[in-house]
Amino acid sequence: MNEYDVLVIGGGPGGYVAAIRCAQLGMKVACAEQYLGANGKPALGGTCLNIGCIPSKALLDSSHHYEFISAHAAEHGITVGDASIDVGVMMKRKDKVVQTLTMGVAGLFKKHKVEWLQGQARLLDNRRVEIRSTAGPEKTETVTARDIIIATGSAPARIPPAPVDHDRIVDSTGALAFTAVPQRLGVIGAGVIGLELGSVWRRLGSQVVVLEALDTFLPTADRAIADEAFKILTRQGLDIRMGTKVTGTAVAGDAVTVRYELKGGLHEITVDRLIVAVGRKPNTEGLDAAAAGLKLDPRGFIEVDADCRTNVANIYAIGDVVRGPMLAHKASEEGVAVAERIAGQKPHVNFDTVPWVIYTWPEIAWAGKTEQQLKAEGRDVRCGTFPLLASGRARAMGETAGMVKIIADAATDQLLGVHILGANASELIAEGVLALEFEGAAEDLARTIHAHPTLAEAVHEAALAVDQRAIHF
C-alpha cells in the first residue's frame, strides 16, 4: 500500500496548485484525477482547463476577432471581403490551447515529483483512499496519506424542465463543442456562464435568447454596473428576458421548443440549440463522504471551517466543493493556504478581496463590496465614477462602452469596492484588488501616477471623482 504525506483528490486549479505547493514544502505528494479528455486520455487541469475557463476564453477571443473583422474593421479603414468562420478550425485552436496547458500541468507535476494517480478516488476510513482507474484496464489500489485535501470541483447544475441530451439540449461543456453556428440559440440562465457562451455564438451569427428566472440582472454586481451592462449587451443583440420561469422543453427533429412563464403569461420559443446554464453544484458524488464521516450541508457542499478543515481530522476541502464563490483563483489560493497550513505555517485567504470577472465584451469585473451591499449594512459611503467615453485611450481604441466606479468610506476614505465595466476590465481590476488588500484609500489611487494614455487612467479618474475632483469629466 502506497503511503503519502499528502493526497490531493482532484487535479483542477485548486488541487494541482495545492499538490505543487505541498511538494515545494518538502512533502511526498500524490494527486488523484479521474478526468478523461475527448480523446479518451487522462488529463489534468479539471473543469477550468479542460471544459471551462480556458476553452471558453479561447472561443470568446476567436469570436471577438471575427466580430471585429465583420462589423468594426471598416471604422479603422480596414476593408475585408466577406468574412467567414470555420468552426472546425476554431475548435481545433481551442483544443490546442487546452492541450498545451494541461500538458504543462503534467510537466509541473514531473518537475515537483508529484505522483499522478489516474483514477477516481473513493474515501475509506482512517485516511485510506481507494483509487479506481478510469483509463486502460480497470484496476483498483488503496493508498493512505497523513493529510488529505479534497478538491473535486463542481459540475453543471440541471433542471427538470430542460433535461440535457448532449445533442439539442446541452450544458456548458456541450456549448464549447458545437460543430456549426446555430441560427437560433436559447440560453437558460443570465449568469456568468450563460452570458459568456451566449456572447460567443451571438458574435458568430446566432440569434440568442437568454431566459433568466431572476427579476434582477446580475444581482451580485454593483447595480450601476449591472444596469449599464444590461443596456450594452442588449444593444449588441442578446435578447435577455428577465423573470422567466422555464416550464418545459420538447425536442422535435432539429429544433427545441422551450416553454416558459413570464408576467403570468405562457410563452414559448423555438431554437436550434438550447444551453442550460443555471449554475453549478459541488462534485461530491462518488467520494463516499459518509464512509469517512465527512459532513455535507443540504446542498452537497463539504462543511469546513475558516481554515478549510473538515469535521474529520487531517482532511481538508477547498474550491467549489466548499463555501464561497466558485472561482478558480479562489480555489488556488485556498490550495496554497492549506498546503502551507499543513507545513506549520499561518497563511490567510482574504475572501473580501477575491476578484470577480465576467468575460463578455466589454468585460465586467469587481472586487470588494457593492454600493447596495454597503447601504444595506448602514455604511456611509462616497462613490466616484468615470465613463470610458471620456478616456482618450478608450476613444482611440474604439472601446468607449463602460465605466469605472470606486466606493470609499465617507469618513475614513478607505476603499470598499472597485467596479469596472469596460475593455480589459479583467486586467484592470488587479490594481483595485491590490489597493483593497492593502486597505488603501481612494486618495491612494488618486495620488498614484497612471501612464497616459491608458485605460487604467479611468481608475485614477474614478478615484479622483470620489472627492469630486475628476479632471477629464
Output the DSSP codes for 103-150. HHHHHHHHHHT-EEEEEEEEE-STTEEEEEESSSS--EEEEEEEEEEE
C-alpha cell at 159: 433542471
CB 260 within 8 A of CB 244: yes
Q: Which residue is catalytic, options 166, 348, 452, 472?
A: 452
Locus of grid cell 496554497: 336
Q: Where are the alpha helices (DSSP H) in 258-391?
A: 289-292, 328-342, 371-376
Residue type, 274: L
Greatest alpha-carbon span in the chain: 69
Interatomic CA distance for residues 425 and 232, integer angstroms: 15
Sheet order of strands, 265-271 included: 244-252, 255-262, 265-271
- DSSP label at 171? -
Contact 330, 324 (CB under 8 A): yes
Contact 209, 186 (CB under 8 A): yes
Q: How far apart are CA 152 and CA 320, in angstroms?
A: 8
Active site residue 452: yes
Q: For the sheet with 184-188, list strands across it.
A: 169-170, 273-276, 184-188, 207-212, 239-242
Q: In whole angstroms, what is the distance from residue 136 CA to residue 120 CA?
A: 13
d(CA 410, CA 420): 20
Residue 46's nearest CA partner among 18, 5, 74, 80 is 18
All three cell numbers of 156, joined, read 453543471
Annotated catalytic residues are: 452
